[in-house]
Chain A
Amino acid sequence: AQKVTQAQTEISVVEKEDVTLDCVYETRDTTYYLFWYKQPPSGELVFLIRRNSFDEQNEISGRYSWNFQKSTSSFNFTITASQVVDSAVYFCALSEETSGSRLTFGEGTQLTVNP
């Protein structure tokens, strides 16, 4: 069965610090998809990125970067030069090829960026 673990429940940093959110996953499928979502206090889950299991290229988008390593079943998310607006709960999620659009979420990491 699929599982996603985000070991960091809460992280607090000062503005402009870099921060990495960890995500470890388990799946028996050879084809799967990994996601990161951001949930601000308003409640809506905002899509950040999708990664396919057959594409281990790391990705950078502005201050955000993602490190996908199949060897360690990890998909970590780094925010460079954090800002107060980055404060939110961040969720890592997994979708298996055989599960349609079903997402399995991690427990979430509450990130607080202090001015």
Chain B
Amino acid sequence: KAGVTQTPRYLIKTRGQQVTLSCSPISGHRSVSWYQQTPGQGLQFLFEYFSETQRNKGNFPGRFSGRQFSNSRSEMNVSTLELGDSALYLCASSGDYRDREAFFGQGTRLTVV
């Protein structure tokens, strides 16, 4: 069974640009969550999508958005990038609200210059 796949693995963007990150969950999983990891703030929850609907949202500005497709693949978008958006973005996949184990991808390392 394939794991969670995140693309790209590494990304360098310029301040003010926008970026889209992709996550393909484990086959059969309908929940996809996104997390931001930085040395200063640790692991912080961005949002969760379940069956194409945003089910939960963290405390991030509106520049951070996401969506989920009918095949459960998810994308995360950050507009008007700031230097502070440099981070490891991790995607987690889980079955449903009863299946609490979340399995993570290897992440996308975003650097904003």
Contacts and interface: CB of A to CB of B under 8 A. Distances in A.
A25 to B, nearest CB: 15
Interface of B: 31, 33, 35, 42-43, 45, 48, 50, 55-56, 58, 88, 90, 92, 94, 97, 100-107, 109
A45 B42 CA distance: 13
A103 B56 CA distance: 11
Given A44-B104, A101-B100, A107-B42, 4 more contacts: A44-B106, A50-B100, A100-B55, A101-B97
B37 to A, nearest CB: 8
Interface of A: 33, 35, 37, 42-47, 50, 91, 95, 99-108
Contact of A45 (B31, B45, B50, B90): B90
B109 A102 contact: no
Most chain A CB within a 10 A radius of its CB, from B43, B55, B107, B109: B43
Candidate in A33, A91, A100, A101 with the most chain B CB atoms within 10 angstroms:
A101
20 contacts: A33-B100, A35-B101, A43-B90, A44-B105, A44-B107, A45-B92, A46-B104, A100-B31, A100-B56, A101-B31, A101-B33, A101-B55, A101-B100, A102-B56, A103-B33, A105-B42, A105-B43, A106-B42, A107-B42, A108-B42
